[in-house]
Chains A and B, each alone.
Chain A
C-alpha cells in the first residue's frame, strides 16, 4: 500500500522533480561556465583574491534555486490534493493518517533532498578541483541556509495546503514568511557559522505541522 502511495506521489510530481533537476543542472552549468571564463580572463589568483580578501561569494546565483525547487515540488504534490479534495481518498486508505501524511511528505523531502544532493555534489567536485578546502567549507556554510530554506518551504507549503480552513491558511502563510526569512538574513559568506546547526534542525522542528492540519481536517474543520 505504501508503495502504491509512493507511486501516486511520483506520478503527480515527476515532471516537477525532473524540471527542478534540469533547471538546477542548467543553472550550475551556467555558473561553472561563467567561472571558467573568469579563470581565463582574470586568472585564478585574482579570483582567489576577491573571495579571500574582498569577501565575494562565487555561487550567489544559486540563492533562490533551492527555495523555488521546494515550492515547485510542494505545489505539484499538494495543490491537486486540495483542489480536487483527493486528500480525502488518501486518508481513507487502510493506513493510519500519520503514515499517509508522513509517507507523502517523506517522499517529497526525499526527492527534493536527492535533487539538492546531486547539486551540492557537483558543486563540491567543481570546487574541489579549483579551490582549497577553506573555500569549500566557507561555501557550504553560505549555501546550507539556502538549501534548508528549500526544505522548509516544502514542509510549510504542504502544511498550508493540507490545512482545511482558509483563515488558518493565511496565518500559516505568515509563519512560513517569517521562518523563511531566517534563512536569508545575510549574504555574507559564512555568516551563519555560529547557528548553522540550529538552522539545519528547523525543518525537523516544523515537520509535524502538516499532520496537525490533517487531524483538523479529519475532525471536520472547514470554512
Chain B
C-alpha cells in the first residue's frame, strides 16, 4: 500500500515540477529584443536598427558615433545591404574602397547563412537524394533514387523499394578506391531542387576524413578533402553561394569554424565569437567587402565584421540582452523539469535548479506538513518529510493530497 502511495507521490511531484514552472513561464515570458546589426562599409562602424518603445518607431543609428539616420539616409550608410534600393534610386557609388559596385558582382557575393542548433539536433531518416550535378537541364531534377550509407552505399528505387545493384556497385567501387571508411558519421547536403546548382554532399567518414560526393554524368565523383593536422571535423553545413567561392562550413572539435573553399578544397578559418553549435545561433550576412558574423547565445549577441577576402577581423560588437526582471519563481520552486528545448527537436528530460534559498521554504513546508499530519491525526512519516525537504512545494502538494 505504502509503496504504491510513494509511486503516486513521486509521479505527482515530477508532474508538478514540470507543469507549475511551465505555467509560470506561460504567464511571464516576454520576447527578447532583436537588434539588427550590420557593418557599414561607408562609416566603417556597426550600425543598428532597433525599435524604440518610447518613441514607438525604428531607430537607425551608427553605434560608434550614435548618429541617428532616417530610412533614406540609412540606405546610403549600408549601401551593400540595401544595394537593390540604391541601384533603383541611382544612388549607388561607383566604387567603395576601390571595389567597383556592379549589381551582378554584388549579388553574386552577397549571401545569408543561418545555422540554428535545431537544424543539427533533430531526428532524420538516413536516406539522401543525390542529384545529377552536370545536368544538361537548367533546373535540378529528382534523380529517381535515394541512397543510404551504412556498411556500403546503396541506391534504392522508390518506385520498387528495391536496391539498384548496378549503380550501387559502381559507386561502391569508387568509395573503396578512395579509402572511405564506412559507416559515415555525417552526411551534409542540401537536397532541394530549388537551388542554382548542385555540389552533392560533404561526408565525414568513420575515420574523420571529409569526402566530397557528387554525381557527374551519372558517374560517381568522390574526392577527399585535405585537412590540416589540427582540424578534426565535428559538423558540416553545406551552402551554395552564387559566386561558387566555397562549398561548405566545417565546425571542428576545437569549436572553430572553417570554410572548404573551391580552391583545391583548401580550408580557410572563419573568425567567430565563442560559438557552441549545439546551443548558439549563427548568422552570416556577407557582402563583397565584409562578412558580418552574428552569434546569438543566452547572454548576448556578438557580431564580428571580417574582410571578405582575407577574413581578417576589422570590428567587433557585443550587444547584451536586456536583463530580464527578477525570476521570483526560483525562490519558490526548488527545480523545474523540462522535456522540450529551443535548441533541439528531440524530446529530452532536463532539470533546472532554483536558488539555494528555496531550501528555507522547503524546511518551512516540511514543518507545515508535520502540523498537518498532527491535525489529521496521521502518523508523521519520515519518507514524505524527507521528500518535501528535497522537492519543496511539489513534494508538499503531492504528499498532502496522496499521503492519506
A window 28-85: CB within 8 A of B? 43-49, 51-53, 55
Q: Is the CB of B123 within 8 A of A178?
A: no
Cα of A168 to Cα of B159 in the assembled complex, Å: 56
Q: Is the CB of B349 within 8 A of A195?
A: yes
- Judged by a CB distance under 8 angstroms, whether B15 is at the interface is yes
- Judged by a CB distance under 8 angstroms, whether B122 is at the interface is yes
Q: Is the CB of B4 within 8 A of A135?
A: no
Q: Is the CB of A178 within 8 A of B158?
A: no
A window 161-199: CB within 8 A of B? 168, 171, 175, 178-179, 182, 185-186, 188-195
Q: How many residues of B contact A (CB 8 A)?
A: 37
Q: Is the CB of B192 within 8 A of A43?
A: no
Contact mask for chain A residues 133-151; partner B; CB cutoff 8 A; 1 contact, 0 none: 0110010010000000000
- Judged by a CB distance under 8 angstroms, whether A129 is at the interface is yes
- Judged by a CB distance under 8 angstroms, whether B36 is at the interface is no
**Which residue, A53, A129, A182, has most C-beta atoms of chain B within 10 A?**
A53
User: Chain A: which residue is nearest B340 at the CB level?
Assistant: A185
Q: Is the CB of B122 within 8 A of A188?
A: yes
**Which residue, B4, B19, B156, has most C-beta atoms of chain A within 10 A?**
B4
Given A134-B125, A138-B123, A205-B7, CB of A178 within 8 Å of CB of B148: no
Q: Looking at the assembled complex, report how far the CB atom of B342 sits from the nearest CB atom of chain A, in whole angstroms.
A: 13
Q: How many residues of A contact B (CB 8 A)?
A: 42
- Judged by a CB distance under 8 angstroms, whether B368 is at the interface is no
- Judged by a CB distance under 8 angstroms, whether B402 is at the interface is yes
Q: Is the CB of B11 within 8 A of A205?
A: yes
- Judged by a CB distance under 8 angstroms, whether A102 is at the interface is no
Q: Is the CB of B129 within 8 A of A212?
A: no
- B contact residues around A212 at 8 Å (CB): 1, 4-5, 8
Q: Looking at the assembled complex, report how far the CB atom of B211 sits from the nearest CB atom of chain A, in whole angstroms.
A: 21
- Judged by a CB distance under 8 angstroms, whether A211 is at the interface is yes
Residue among A51, A132, A193 making CB contact with B123, cutoff 8 Å = A193
- B contact residues around A43 at 8 Å (CB): 158-159
Residue among B144, B347, B401 making CB contact with A194, cutoff 8 Å = B347
- B contact residues around A171 at 8 Å (CB): 12, 401-402
- Judged by a CB distance under 8 angstroms, whether A107 is at the interface is no
Cα of A205 to Cα of B123 in the assembled complex, Å: 27
Q: Is the CB of A193 within 8 A of B346?
A: yes
- Judged by a CB distance under 8 angstroms, whether B103 is at the interface is no
Given A134-B148, A171-B402, A175-B8, CB of A186 within 8 Å of CB of B161: no
Q: Is the CB of A175 within 8 A of B4?
A: no
- Judged by a CB distance under 8 angstroms, whether B226 is at the interface is no
- A contact residues around B123 at 8 Å (CB): 138, 141, 188-191, 193
Cα of A138 to Cα of B123 in the assembled complex, Å: 9
B window 139-154: CB within 8 A of A? 142, 144, 146, 148
Q: Is the CB of B12 within 8 A of A131?
A: no
Residue among A53, A168, A195 making CB contact with B348, cutoff 8 Å = A195
Q: Is the CB of A195 within 8 A of B347?
A: yes
Q: Is the CB of B4 within 8 A of A49?
A: no
Q: Looking at the assembled complex, report how far the CB atom of B346 sits from the nearest CB atom of chain A, in whole angstroms.
A: 5
- Judged by a CB distance under 8 angstroms, whether B345 is at the interface is yes
Residue among B5, B7, B15, B129 making CB contact with A49, cutoff 8 Å = B129
Q: Looking at the assembled complex, report how far the CB atom of B149 sits from the nearest CB atom of chain A, in whole angstroms.
A: 11
Cα of A175 to Cα of B1 in the assembled complex, Å: 19
- B contact residues around A211 at 8 Å (CB): 4
- Judged by a CB distance under 8 angstroms, whether B18 is at the interface is yes
Q: Is the CB of B15 within 8 A of A188?
A: no
Cα of A76 to Cα of B369 in the assembled complex, Å: 39
- A contact residues around B127 at 8 Å (CB): 48, 52, 132, 134
Q: Is the CB of A131 within 8 A of B122?
A: no
Task: Show 10 residue pairs from A and B whose CB-CB distance is below 8 angstroms, ordered by the A residue.
Answer: A43-B158, A49-B142, A52-B124, A132-B148, A141-B123, A186-B347, A190-B124, A192-B347, A205-B7, A211-B4
Which residues of B come within 8 Å of A, CB atoms? 1, 4-5, 7-8, 11-12, 15, 18-19, 122-129, 142, 144, 146, 148, 156, 158-159, 161, 191-192, 339-340, 345-349, 401-402
Report, nearest first, the 9 A-B pairs whose CB atoms are least far apart. A190-B123, A178-B15, A44-B158, A212-B4, A48-B158, A45-B158, A208-B4, A134-B125, A53-B191
Q: Beyond the given A49-B142, A55-B122, A212-B8, could you list 15 further A-B residue pairs with CB under 8 A, ordered by the A residue number? A: A43-B159, A44-B161, A49-B129, A52-B146, A129-B161, A134-B127, A168-B401, A178-B18, A185-B347, A186-B340, A191-B123, A193-B346, A194-B346, A208-B4, A209-B7
